[in-house]
A and B are shown apart, each in its own frame.
Chain A
Amino acid sequence: AQKVTQAQTEISVVEKEDVTLDCVYETRDTTYYLFWYKQPPSGELVFLIRRNSFDEQNEISGRYSWNFQKSTSSFNFTITASQVVDSAVYFCALSEFDSNYQLIWGAGTKLIIKP
């Protein structure tokens, strides 16, 4: 079974629309970490956020916000007022004790923002 599921393979929206990228994870650990990374066409993975399992507070950073819900094992990412520069592949990742804290990656969601 997939430990990190990003069900949306590709999303296409028009600039200025809000968009939410879904991430569902699976773990038996009580202490774990969740991450979002952005990978633009250049290829470099850019760190966006890290959350530990004990901190369920939602986070907002500019146009980006994250909704962490342990009850549904989800860690969703919302971009408000999307811009063309947000076009990239976005990866959700899990780090847990059972896997020696190595990053377990989702398959990624390709986000296309049309002008």
Chain B
Amino acid sequence: DAGVTQSPTHLIKTRGQQVTLRCSPKSGHDTVSWYQQALGQGPQFIFQYYEEEERQRGNFPDRFSGHQFPNYSSELNVNALLLGDSALYLCASSFPGGITDTQYFGPGTRLTVL
């Protein structure tokens, strides 16, 4: 049973560039959430996708956008990168539909902005 997968593992970008991170949910899951985790801190919720729609959003600017595909995989796009966007980006998936369901996390993508 494949768990949550994310690509790429690491990424280095420069300020002002755009980046796309990818996530495939655990088998049988249809809800995908994205988190940003700065070094030494807990994860911060970015947004959640369900049925190809953004269902909830945290306190992140519009530079952060996402998409969910019919196969439930998801992308996180960040435009006009800032140095402060350097972080571990985590994707989590959960069971069908329920916003209270347990989230299972992928290994993350480490983004460095120079």
How long is the Cα–Cα vector from A87 to B29 in the complex, in angstroms?
A: 29
Q: Which chain A residues numbered 24 to 56 have a C-beta less than 8 Å away from chain B?
A: 33, 35, 37, 42-47, 50
Q: Which chain B residues numbered 33 to 92 have a C-beta less than 8 Å away from chain A?
A: 41-45, 48, 56, 58, 88, 90, 92
Q: In the complex, how many residues of chain A place their beta carbon closer than 8 angstroms to a beta carbon of chain B?
A: 21
Q: How far is the CB of B94 from chain A (nearest CB, A)?
A: 10
Chain B residues lying within 8 Å of A33, measured Cβ to Cβ, are: 100
How long is the Cα–Cα vector from A84 to B68 in the complex, in angstroms?
A: 39
* B56:A100 contact, CB within 8 angstroms: yes
Chain A residues lying within 8 Å of B104, measured Cβ to Cβ, are: 47
Residues of B bordering A, CB below 8 Å: 41-45, 48, 56, 58, 88, 90, 92, 99-100, 102-108, 110
